[in-house]
Structure 1
Amino acid sequence: MRAYADNDYPADHKPNWKVISGLWPYLAEFRGRVVLALAFLVISKLATVATPVALKYIVDYLDQNRGGEVLLWIPVLLVVAYGLLRFGSTLFSELRDAVFARVAERAMRRVSLRVFEHLHNRELAFHLDRKTGGLARDIERGTNGISFLLRFTLFNIVPTLLEILLVAGILFVVFNVGYVLAILVAVVVYVVFSIKVTEWRTRFVREANSRDNQSNSRAVDSLLNYETVKYFNNERFEARMYDQNLDDWEQARLKNRLSLAALNSGQALIIGLAMIVIMAMAVREAAIGEITLGDFTMINAYLLQLFIPLNALGFVYREIRQALVNVERLFGLLGDEPGIEDAPDAKALVVSKGEVCFDHVHFAYRQDRQILRDVSFAIPAGHTVAVVGASGAGKSTLARLLFRFYDVDQGSITIDGQDIRTVTQDSLRAAIGVVPQDTVLFNDTLYRNLAYGRPEATEEEVYRAARMAHLEDFIHSLPDGYQTQVGERGLKLSGGEKQRVAIARVILKNPPVLILDEATSSLDSLSEQAILGALKEVSRQRTSLVIAHRLSTTRDADTILVMDGGRIVESGHHTELLALDGHYAHLWAQQHRRGDE
């Protein structure tokens, strides 16, 4: 099953009814509860169907003894039975819901967790292509759709069909086949009409969903980029674009509402005609004495009792169609396998020294755009290798490949001789610490963001990491200290402060291999020198790959690699590369000239 993107779900796509079978594993966990709930369902329906029979006997007794001697205890007993049957119908229906509640809620929990874990297992490219707002809506609607399918398929469609069969059987035995045929014809016409019209209007429901996703994604994206909007005075532009999305959503919803009105009107017409025909039959037979007044009352009660849930059946079918669409999208997220997976025989990475080796690596994000061309180099255990070059040269791609956000097209990457494609991703990433260029924090306290590097760390370990990252003075200057809320994506902190949090996290993680992806790019020169000292301390005894834009951060590297056009064009120490008077010397001169200016 293909996972559709936010807005590319075809409007005429028919839902996959096999989705319902995919819910069975979530029911199997509570087989006993499901069986008990079904038992309560049957008892409830038997009580419901028996209620008009009690009413018939009450009316017949009173009618036949009109003007004569009436034994009061008999109608009172019948009335009590009538009341108990009505109460029993409601009681067992509520017991059914109470017993089944755990099943539905647990199913929602299981699926939500499974989707959450699956999305975290998806490759980086998947998340770069998705819109978070639309994805969140798909998950929310999908989990609610599962609850709806479980509850209403079992507890509305099944009981309604059971009630129709029971009523038809009683009418056939007590009266004649004419009533049964009239009811069955009405039910068949009603169901066929509901299905056909619902199939027709489903495209409007899908379109409304798609427009809802689109507008929600636009709103979330705009709010996440609040500062960018403000920088360019584009509040009106954002509002205009959002309103256009809302206008599309409004039009789609209007079509949905009008088609719903047509469906409801048609269903009401079918029910009304069926009531007229069946009641006319009953009136004629009551008038000529073929049936009693109690029989007439029972038929009328059955029709009211039958067509109310049948009317709800039309609503439930419509909602089931919509729930199927939502659940299908949710399962569609689970249907695609991650682009980066562990090999079947993958073992945990064993880091003895920490030597990293790129061997004839070729890589392209797209076939028509080659990024890396035959890149080979090694980082000896405990050494630091810096990679420099112009933007687009492929520097950050090296870090993404080492962390296995992507797999190489040709060649291999090894750590202590182990190809990273043959080890588990979990063990690989546990061995690598990353300080990214753009640090994003959770909307939580500063302490929790620091402790995220190792959630089980003690408070003292977190404080020590903050000290080593030169964050302690800054934290003590805050009114709430470590309990300061950092805001959405850490917007309440400066770029340099966020970068120090990222460094503290890595210190706390304490990995044998480090990736510093322009780790000081957000810092001023004074802060940079302080952080470089901390990074030098942290990287000691660790294998480090440093992606650098500022060449001043690479001077102490054991080896500097210069990349251009996806290839390594120079390598050596700082002084050696300056003496070559090549690419590195040109970049060095260029940055110093900008600094002087």
Structure 2
Amino acid sequence: MASVNPLEKLRFKFRTKRDGTHDAVAASVPQPTTTGSTAGRLSPHPAVLKASPALQETSDSLYSTQSLPERLWNRAYDALKEEDPQLVDTYERLLSHQLEGDPTSTDLSSQKNSIEQGSSEKRRYQMTQLVVAGLEKTGREANIKRDVEKGMQVVSSAKALMDTAVKAYPEASLAWAGVCIIIEMLANPVKQTSANREGIAYVISRMEWYWRLSSLLLDENKAKGNHGGLRDELEKHVIALYKTLLAYQMKSVYSYYRSRHVVFWRDVITLDDWSGTLETVYHAEKTVQEDSAAYNTESIKGHLENLAEAAKSQQETLLPGIHQAFRDHTAAQREMLQEKETMECLKHLRATDPRDDKKRIERIKGGFLTDASNWILHHPDFRHWRDDAQSQLLWIKGDPGKGKTMLLIGIIKELELTSALADNLTAKPAVLSYFFCQRSDSRLNNATAVLRGLIYLLVVQQPLLMSHLWKKYDHAGEGLFKDVNAFVALSEVFATMLRDPSITKAYIIVDALDECETDQKQLLDLIAENASASPRVKWIVSSRNRRDIERQLKLEDSGMKICLEMTHNAAAFYRPGKPHFKSWFEYSRGYFILSSYLWPEGEPWLQLLVLLSFLLIVGQRIVNILMPIQIGIIANTLLLSDRMPWEMLAWLMTFKFLHGGAGLLASTRSLLWIPVAQYSYRSLATAAFEHAHSLGLEFYLSKRTGEVLSTLNKASSVNQYLEQITFQVLPMIFDIIIAIIYFCSYYNAIYGAIIAIFAWSYLYFQIYLSRTRDDERHDMNEADQEEEAVKNDSITSYETVKYFNAEQYEFRRYKNSLQNFQDIQLKCFHGASTISICRTLAMISGFLIVTTLGAYEVSYGLRDVGSFVTLVAYFQQLQSPLDIFGTLCRPIGLAMMFAERFLELFKVQPAVVDSPNAKKLDRCEGRIRWSGVKFSYDWRKPTLQDLSFECVPGTTTAFVGESGGGKSTVFRLLYRYFNFNGSVEIDGHDVRELTIDSVRRHMGVVPQHTILFNETLMYNLRYANQNATDEEIFAACRLANIHDRIMTFPEGYRTEVGERGLRLSGGERQRVAIARMLLKNPKIMMLDEAMSSLDSSTEQEIQKGLRSVGKGRTMLIIAHRLSTVTHADQILVLHGGRIVEKGTHAELLALNGRYALMWEKQCTANEVVEERLPTPTSAG
């Protein structure tokens, strides 16, 4: 085994210490030996297990004289052991197993922990022996493999990298004891996942950076300036980084160790067995670098940059063999998947691929719309299901057409993006399996098909799970999936897979359970049983809102449920993407959610008008039949009689007076409908306005103001659309049906068929050919919205436009948006004209055929002249509503386009709502307690992390820190703008158990950016308290130091402040906001940079007033200017969403940490400004 000699000769050279002990002792450690049948077994050396007395005597002194890096590594190790004792104990038992156990076994249950806990020297020898043995074993296994040369090349690359890390820094030997196994990970392409190997390689290549970091940044002899407090904080972050690295390695070693022997002998790992990412390591590194930037010298920065470059170079030069191993690993995956037996089994298993079903559904639905599902990611029930380990099953229920399927597709996409969610020990990725039931497809409408689809996706992601399937497939073959017991057998396979140790977390999603027609009950029982059996598996299912499904899923009394019923409070606003074609019926069906606003409930007079209007429509239909019949009768009378038919003419005049769009019946109906139309418009517009105000802040943060205002303005379009459908389209359809029946009965079936074909052709050209215009109509809608948004944004940003002389740019921008709208509009009109020509041709053809046939029958005596006249008159009359329909198609299309977005607004559900049992907060003292609050705007990036503090009534709490630290978010959460994890209490009540309105009534806020209504100052001030007297308003303004300023205005308190208050200066707006907050008389006052625009003297006057008013109240202040919060009872320093310091101004200065550094910088900046100001000179 000559090729292994270089590895067997490896020795670790310890860094020389003060007494030189390390080199001497290290040299005395003999090589571990292997012989014969024990070739795979490591014989522990006595020096490892029984240390000499001399060594024991010196160990304590050596331990007490550790260098700074040694101390930090040991503290990190101890901290991790305290935080996660199970992980560390498992890791140490694993290493003990390598020292003295049977390497062919993976059972650690009986293994004792023999890693030395007391002596660092003893422990170091154990680690040295492990490393040498690991290299030997790697070499042997590489020879057993088919490609010995390639295996040794990889081992050599890995050894060089590992040698650099370990021999130079033996003080961290326990921290990196797992290198014996890590080298195996790096060397064997089939054994370990690429993601894990790359992560380990990254960490090892940066070992010198990590090691030197503590010496360069924290050594007292090298730290510059008096920043002891800040250095202590930085030291905590360095320890946190080391702890993160330790956890990363331990999890990697454990994960690999569990499956290494199966992997080695069978080569069956095909996908990542562990795909833990380096995000936590990167984050810890970034935190240390950001903190150290506060006082790093250029020398230290240079050293760290050089070390980082060296690490990068090391990765690039020493890892080519490892990267080749990754490629070999991928090839091995493909090879395994192509094995004949495996492919045959997968072929029989796969009835359908749910991934293809998902793509098909997206295509049919017109494409996935991201915004349509984003709301659910912030829904409290979804968050609770995702974050709570005890919540296993979430049921999304709703009637067809409510968007359940597309909502689940959005959740699937989100889970796919964030699939590397790790558990506490193995850090394995979550597997995701899903299935879409469909009643109309036999492959998708039975419980066995559901299981086949779910199992298929599980096996594709975790090929090791194939072993569970093989146990059944070996005996049953293809019959496993098709015989009468298929569901029972596959249920056992599925349950066994979910219990497999390789799955630490799984997400199972099943859509449309109610469309599973065969074995539905058994499937529901299976879901309920598995959801309650394993905390590692989380389920989401959807169906109609059916009590039997709820009962079988055991969700009657408890459980997570999200209802998508479309009430005035319901679900999911989005900006529509390219839609698939919808018929008018489908569009009209969407308007049913507005029926409660359109029907004048509780208004008997209006209901009577509606009834009379519909009776008049029926009367119009009767007149439409009698009118042509009467004309025919008069024609026959004139031919057969020589007297004047006065009575018949009188009836004809009467019918004419009642007939048509300008007739008495139609005019009366229009007159009666006016109050009804006003009611429905008023109801819709008011409901939309109220609904818009009920939506959460996150809705408005994600939408442009012009877009929302444009949507609110479309209530009239809804009315217009519904009126045209009700009084034009539906009567026209009835007229056609009546005409066909009349012609079939009075003439014959040929005439009825001609009329039917003519009407069908006309409507075909009008409606179905309009499909070609759907995209154009949608684009026109988008262009119209864009044009309005550009116009609105430009006008509301008037000052910004002027500041940057951007008038010409804005003119061009608006002109381009308008031109784009008109270009698309022109295409729509061209299409409409083409359809109009086709309609005319159909009409002329029908008229020609009918009149020719009628004239033929009259000429041969088959019919009288009167019937011909009736025929022509009726046809012309039938042509009239069709013509009107053609004329109305364009306005109906426009109204439909505008109303579409208005409808979407009613599908938005407020993210923050009162809980069902919420109580009112009638009295408030102002005691606030935050406990472990976590929040993120994007849940992949935390904004606040474990925030805990308390505010006592009568005290002032200040929040300081750099921008983006989460200060304003604290106010937003307290004001219930967003949901969060953790607890926020007011007077001992969780705010989520209180009504939102009652909580906000006790709070007063001065926002960072004050917005005023375009009204008078008095209107804006009284807005806070409608019952406030003028004297109370004047008093509040005096406290805010704005009264005297207002009295200098020509109109005083009647002065118009302009759009958003822009006629006032920034300081004036802030003082008006403070006065307005004082008028509300709240127990909790929140000031967000409330005095940033004020001069020092005004600020002092206002602070004096606020302190007097604030007695007995709780005051919260956000400030960048620290001089404004020196009086605060407690100051919380936020950094990265955490409270890093807390205390009074004096206490924080004494702490000499982050706050002290911020204070020092601001004081220095003020001194520089004062020095640069010109010194006043005395006159003459």
Q: TM-score range by the shorter chain?
A: over 0.9
In the alignment, what sits opposite 2:1160? 589
The structure-2 alpha-carbon separation of the partners of 1:59 and 1:481, relative to structure 1 and needing over 3 Å to count, comes to farther
- The structure having more radius of gyration, on CA atoms, is 2
Residue range with higher mean Cα deviation, 92-101 or 302-311? 92-101
AA in 2 matched with 1:140: N
Aligned-partner Cα distance in 2 for 1:304–1:458: 71
AA in 2 matched with 1:9: G
Is 1:566 the counterpart of 2:1137? The answer is: yes
The structure-2 alpha-carbon separation of the partners of 1:591 and 1:310, relative to structure 1 and needing over 3 Å to count, comes to same
Could you tell me whether the CA contact under 8 Å between 1:440 and 1:490 is conserved in 2? Answer: yes
The structure-2 alpha-carbon separation of the partners of 1:23 and 1:586, relative to structure 1 and needing over 3 Å to count, comes to closer
Q: 2:681 aligns with which of 108, 115, 129?
A: 108
TM-score normalised to structure 1 length:
0.93
In the alignment, what sits opposite 1:87? 657
Q: Secondary structure at the match of 2:578?
A: coil
Could you tell me whether the CA contact under 8 Å between 1:375 and 1:568 is conserved in 2? Answer: yes
Gap runs ≥5 in structure 1? none
Q: What are the within-5 Å matches in structure 2 for residues 226-375 of structure 1?
A: 226-316=798-888, 319-320=891-892, 322-375=894-947
In the alignment, what sits opposite 1:542? 1113
What displacement does 1:138 show? 2.4
What displacement does 1:321 show? 5.2
Aligned-partner Cα distance in 2 for 1:39–1:202: 35
What displacement does 1:148 show? 2.5
Aligned-partner Cα distance in 1 for 2:594–2:973: 37
Could you tell me whether the CA contact under 8 Å between 1:351 and 1:415 is conserved in 2? Answer: no
What displacement does 1:416 show? 0.4
AA in 2 matched with 1:357: R
Residue range with higher mean Cα deviation, 396-405 or 107-116? 107-116
Could you tell me whether the CA contact under 8 Å between 1:4 and 1:329 is conserved in 2? Answer: no
Q: 1:443 aligns with which of 997, 1014, 1026?
A: 1014
Aligned-partner Cα distance in 2 for 1:595–1:281: 101
Per-residue CA deviations over 1:552-592 (Å, capped at 9, x if unaligned) read 21122122222222222222222232233322222222222
What displacement does 1:244 show? 2.8
Aligned-partner Cα distance in 2 for 1:573–1:135: 45
Q: Secondary structure at the match of 1:365?
A: coil
Gap runs ≥5 in structure 2? 1-402, 404-570, 1170-1180
Aligned-partner Cα distance in 1 for 2:858–2:590: 49
Aligned-partner Cα distance in 2 for 1:465–1:501: 9
What displacement does 1:434 show? 0.1
CA RMSD of aligned residues (A): 2.2
AA in 1 matched with 2:1144: H
What displacement does 1:46 show? 1.4
What displacement does 1:371 show? 2.0
In the alignment, what sits opposite 1:56? 632
Give the aligned length: 588
What displacement does 1:494 show? 0.5
AA in 2 matched with 1:116: F
Could you tell me whether the CA contact under 8 Å between 1:435 and 1:515 is conserved in 2? Answer: yes
Q: Secondary structure at the match of 1:369?
A: coil
AA in 1 matched with 2:620: S
The structure-2 alpha-carbon separation of the partners of 1:131 and 1:14, relative to structure 1 and needing over 3 Å to count, comes to farther
Q: Secondary structure at the match of 2:701?
A: helix
AA in 2 matched with 1:78: M
What displacement does 1:107 show? 2.3
Q: 1:387 aligns with which of 945, 959, 964?
A: 959
Per-residue CA deviations over 1:455-512 (Å, capped at 9, x if unaligned) read 3433343333333322222222222222222111111111111111111111111111
Per-residue CA deviations over 1:216-257 (Å, capped at 9, x if unaligned) read 112211221111122222222222333332232222112111
In the alignment, what sits opposite 1:10? 578
Could you tell me whether the CA contact under 8 Å between 2:573 and 2:908 is conserved in 1? Answer: no
The structure-2 alpha-carbon separation of the partners of 1:323 and 1:9, relative to structure 1 and needing over 3 Å to count, comes to farther
In the alignment, what sits opposite 2:713? 140
Q: 1:525 aligns with which of 1093, 1096, 1100?
A: 1096
Aligned-partner Cα distance in 2 for 1:490–1:352: 32
AA in 2 matched with 1:567: R
Is 1:431 the counterpart of 2:1002? The answer is: yes
In the alignment, what sits opposite 2:1082? 511
Could you tell me whether the CA contact under 8 Å between 1:47 and 1:85 is conserved in 2? Answer: yes
What displacement does 1:315 show? 4.3
AA in 2 matched with 1:237: Y
The structure-2 alpha-carbon separation of the partners of 1:390 and 1:538, relative to structure 1 and needing over 3 Å to count, comes to same
AA in 2 matched with 1:43: G
Q: Secondary structure at the match of 2:1091?
A: coil
What displacement does 1:319 show? 4.8
Aligned-partner Cα distance in 2 for 1:172–1:457: 76
Is 1:201 the counterpart of 2:769? The answer is: no
Aligned-partner Cα distance in 2 for 1:144–1:98: 18
AA in 2 matched with 1:64: L
Aligned-partner Cα distance in 1 for 2:654–2:1030: 63
Is 1:40 the counterpart of 2:623? The answer is: no
What displacement does 1:290 show? 3.7
AA in 2 matched with 1:82: L
Q: Secondary structure at the match of 2:915?
A: coil
Could you tell me whether the CA contact under 8 Å between 1:202 and 1:321 is conserved in 2? Answer: no
In the alignment, what sits opposite 1:130? 703
Could you tell me whether the CA contact under 8 Å between 1:105 and 1:147 is conserved in 2? Answer: no
Aligned-partner Cα distance in 2 for 1:466–1:557: 23
What displacement does 1:284 show? 2.4
Residue range with higher mean Cα deviation, 89-98 or 391-400? 89-98
Aligned-partner Cα distance in 2 for 1:212–1:272: 37
Is 1:471 the counterpart of 2:471? The answer is: no
The structure, 1 or 2, with the larger RCO (C-alpha pairs under 8 Å, 6+ apart) is 1
Could you tell me whether the CA contact under 8 Å between 2:1036 and 2:1075 is conserved in 1? Answer: yes
Per-residue CA deviations over 1:255-304 (Å, capped at 9, x if unaligned) read 11111111111111111111111122223233344444443333222122
AA in 2 matched with 1:131: R
The structure-2 alpha-carbon separation of the partners of 1:102 and 1:512, relative to structure 1 and needing over 3 Å to count, comes to same
Q: Secondary structure at the match of 1:10?
A: coil
AA in 1 matched with 2:767: I
AA in 1 matched with 2:837: S
Aligned-partner Cα distance in 2 for 1:21–1:396: 41
Aligned-partner Cα distance in 2 for 1:61–1:460: 89
What displacement does 1:114 show? 2.1
In the alignment, what sits opposite 1:150? 722
Could you tell me whether the CA contact under 8 Å between 1:495 and 1:522 is conserved in 2? Answer: yes
AA in 1 matched with 2:1112: Q
Is 1:555 the counterpart of 2:555? The answer is: no
The structure-2 alpha-carbon separation of the partners of 1:580 and 1:256, relative to structure 1 and needing over 3 Å to count, comes to same
What displacement does 1:351 show? 3.4
Q: Secondary structure at the match of 2:909?
A: coil
The structure-2 alpha-carbon separation of the partners of 1:332 and 1:3, relative to structure 1 and needing over 3 Å to count, comes to farther
What percent of counterpart residues are identical? Answer: 36
AA in 2 matched with 1:41: I
Q: Secondary structure at the match of 1:353?
A: coil
Aligned-partner Cα distance in 1 for 2:1157–2:591: 64
